[in-house]
Structures are given as structure tokens and as C-alpha cells.
Amino acid sequence: MKRASATPVAYAGGLPLAPHVAEQASRWYVLLTSGAETAQDRQAWERWRQADPDHERAWAHLMRADGRMRELEGSPAYQALTGDRRKGRRALIAMLGLVTCTGGLVWTADRKRWVRISPDYVAGVGEQRTVMLDDGTEVLLNTDSAIDVLYDGRTRRLRLRRGEIQIRTGHAAGYADMPFRVDTPAGGVRALGTRFMVRLDGEQTRVALLEGLVEIEPAAGGSRLLLQPGQATRYGAGEVEPVRPVALADTAWINAELAADDMPLDRFLAELSRYRHGLISCDAPAAKLRISGLFPLNDTDRALQAVARLLPVTVTRRSPYWVRVSAR
């Protein structure tokens, strides 16, 4: 898995694509979500996706954008970018297909200005990035992760847009007395001189504490929770799950490894797919199998080969971006 020191980049979560491919994907998205598509349209769309690996990559990018826009619906920023709810959402997602070609900017006709929708720092798929902030805080972004840095002179705040990060809080002069927290849609994590991990997991947030103390603050109120070193939990907007010990599966990604301990294969493949472009799917019989071991994240093809050796499955590569795992 590639590592790099990060600088701010204009990025919307997609892959670098030729402008005409991004535009084609956007047009297909608008048609297929309009409610006016025909069976012939869907057949033509399937042919388009199969005609070129870049077409499949562009479509996968739009599907990720679709999922992220669902999280934003109803927010003031979303309403500012869109007018009519359905048409606006559809148009905005289609524009996201072109963001990689326009430096992460979207033109809003009503305000007559460009609005930056890109995060401050991003790690691409299959990449890790280390960010050093002004206060000495070190942030390690895992694959397909993005954060905003919101320091205002009174508080230090990170917003995790997607993915997973490890944080070592810094205490440079002028910052030591400022509170430090990480915000997600599910709530906040307040750090007290610490090293910890935060991961977005659907509508929930996972936290694993390695050093120091952190306090979990669910967005919808409810009881706060103080984590001790070696403890982990998961929480949603209104509730915090029982504390458990930090597991190897929480931390192995730092060493570019995926740790599985009697993990269902469908969950294992979903986790592995975070580290490679394209899709990994499996049939129902294979999904029920269970797997254990340490697997390389910097070579996901080798990890898939190991799966085929350990379990009674066949791994079929239908394209560079589409892998199917089937029970034998």
C-alpha cells in the first residue's frame, strides 16, 4: 500500500479519468435515476460499462458519490448547492463525476460563484497519507479517507468525512490549552493528550484508544463515555455500544495488513475491497465461509490468492476491476 506525506489537494473521492468518460458516466447516472429510462437504455448502459475498464471505474465513482450525498441531504450546504430536492441531488451527483477534471470545484448558478467541495486532506484508494498539522498533531489517513481541519484559535477540530484515521495529538506552543476533537455524523470524540483511531462505519463511528484518554459524545445526546487505553467502542447518533478490548483487527492496517479472526468471508471481502479499485463480490455459499489470518493490503491480489488456498472457493477475475469469489 502506497504511503505519502499529504498536502491539501482538490479531490472528490473519484479516480483520475478522461473528461469524456466522466461526462458519459454522469449522463448515464442522470438518465437512470430520472425514472424515464427504458429496458433498451439499461441494456445500452450495461454495454457501455463492459466496453472499457475506465467506464466501470467512472460508474463506481458515481456510486460512491451517491452514497456520500445521501449523508449530506438536508444540510444547509446541500440546500445551497441544489434547488429542487430530487433534481438537485441528481444533478449534483452527476457533477461530482466531473469534479476530478475541474479541480474539485462546482459552479452554483444562483450564487454565481465556484464552491469548493473537496476535503482539506485525502488518501486515495490503496494509499495511506501522513499529515502534520500546525499544532504538532500527526494524522495518518487510511485508504479512501478524507478530513477537514477546522482550527479557529479557540478549539482544534477535525471533521472525518469518510474512511479511517489515526491521530497523535500535538501540543505545540499556543495550542496546548485548546480542546481537540474529531467530529463525525454520529457525534464527537474529545481527545485528552492521546493516540487513537476513528473510523466511519456506515451511520456509526468506531473508536480505538491506544494512549491517553478520549471522551465519546453522541450527536443526539445521551451518556458520554470515557475510554481508557486499550479500549474500543462503536457508537451511533444516540447510543454507545459496550466497551471492548482493542483488537488486532483495529490496528493492523497501520502495518498494511488485514487481520481476520473467524471473520465471515463476505465481510472480509468487503473490507479488502476498501483497498483496491473496482468490485469484489461473492456468492451466497461463499459468503458463509469463515476465514482467519493476516493478509497483505499492499497487494490485494496476493490476499485473494491466499483466500483461494485457505478456503474451498474459486477466485475469478472478470476484469481488472471486477473479481468474483464462488464456493467450489
263 and 278 share one domain: yes
Res 100 pLDDT > 60:
no
Assess if residue 88 is contained within a domain.
yes
Asked if 47 and 74 touch (Cβ cutoff 8 Å), the reply is no
Strand blocks (E) in 33-186: 105-108, 113-116, 121-123, 127-132, 138-141, 145-151, 156-162, 164-168, 180-184
237 and 282 share one domain: no
CATH code of the domain in which 125 resides: 2.60.120.1440
Res 72 pLDDT > 60:
no
239 and 128 share one domain: yes
| Domain endpoint, select from 249, 272, 306 | 249
168 and 222 share one domain: yes
CATH code of the domain in which 309 resides: 3.55.50.30
All residues at 6 or more sequence positions from 328 whose CB lies less than 8 Å from its CB, including other chains: 312, 313, 314
109 and 132 share one domain: no
* CA–centroid distance for 293 within its chain: 24
Domain tally, the chain? 3
Res 112 pLDDT > 70:
no
203 and 272 share one domain: no
Assess if residue 3 is contained within a domain.
no
Assess if residue 133 is contained within a domain.
yes
244 and 143 share one domain: yes
109 and 50 share one domain: yes
216 and 240 share one domain: yes
Assess if residue 129 is contained within a domain.
yes
Give pLDDT tens digits for 36-47.
778 887 888 888
All residues at 6 or more sequence positions from 26 whose CB lies less than 8 Å from its CB, including other chains: 62, 94, 95, 97, 98
| Domain endpoint, select from 200, 220, 249 | 249
Assess if residue 53 is contained within a domain.
yes
Res 219 pLDDT > 90:
no
Assess if residue 215 is contained within a domain.
yes
Give pLDDT tens digits for 227-241.
999 999 999 877 889
Local structure of residue 180 (DSSP, 8 states): E
**DSSP 3-state of 259:** strand
Assess if residue 301 is contained within a domain.
yes
Assess if residue 5 is contained within a domain.
no
Give pLDDT tens digits for 165-197.
999 999 888 888 899 999 998 899 999 878 999
Asked if 240 and 233 touch (Cβ cutoff 8 Å), the reply is yes
112 and 154 share one domain: no
293 and 189 share one domain: no
221 and 235 share one domain: yes
Res 11 pLDDT > 80:
no
Confidence label for 117 from pLDDT (cuts 50, 70 and 90): low
Supply the pTM of this predicted model.
0.68
Range in 13-27, 58-72, 91-105, 295-309 the model is least confident about = 91-105
| Domain endpoint, select from 216, 249, 282 | 249
What is the span of the domain harbouring residue 309?
Answer: 256-327
